[in-house]
Amino acid sequence: MDTYEEKISLLSEMIAFAVVDGELHDREYDFLWIIAQELEIEKAVFLELFGKRNQTKVIKDELHRIMQFYRLALLMHCDGVLHEREIKAINEIGINMGLNPMGIKKTLKAMQEAPNQMIEPEILLHTFTLQHN
């Protein structure tokens, strides 16, 4: 992630996804705030993003798209409840990112089966690179 604009876009997309089920849980907010701090986004800007619907910027690098997809999947599991709308939305987001549908499916399944919904980076990358010819 190179530019401030890309960081804002990434965080905006995560915020939009966090509220897809109709509410923002405390754990989701905390997770988003941690991401914002890692991206060096000020608290005031972070809070403003909840009221805005920014245009998301396309992530060109596949590795960064996979990482963003994984962040969204972690966010989806953050509140401990999987809503049908969240599952549908994350699949649509992954496809719109240009990620392989089988890689998306395998990643979500591996996360669901993991005790803490987290998977090793090697497994994450492997689920997507398996689909390359």
Structure tokens at 11: 């965080």
Q: In this structure, what DSSP letter does residue 114 have?
A: S
Instruction: Write down the pLDDT at residue 68.
Output: 86
A 10 A CB-CB count for 120 gives 10
For range 95-124, the mean pLDDT: 90
Distances in Å between the Cα of 7 and the Cα atoms of 22, 24, 130 are: 24, 21, 28
Predicted confidence band at 107 (pLDDT cuts at 50, 70, 90)? very high
Render pLDDT for 40-55 as a digit per residue (tens, 0 to 9).
999 999 999 988 765 5
Predicted confidence band at 129 (pLDDT cuts at 50, 70, 90)? confident
Structure tokens at 105: 């499916």
Domain spans, the chain: 4-52, 62-130
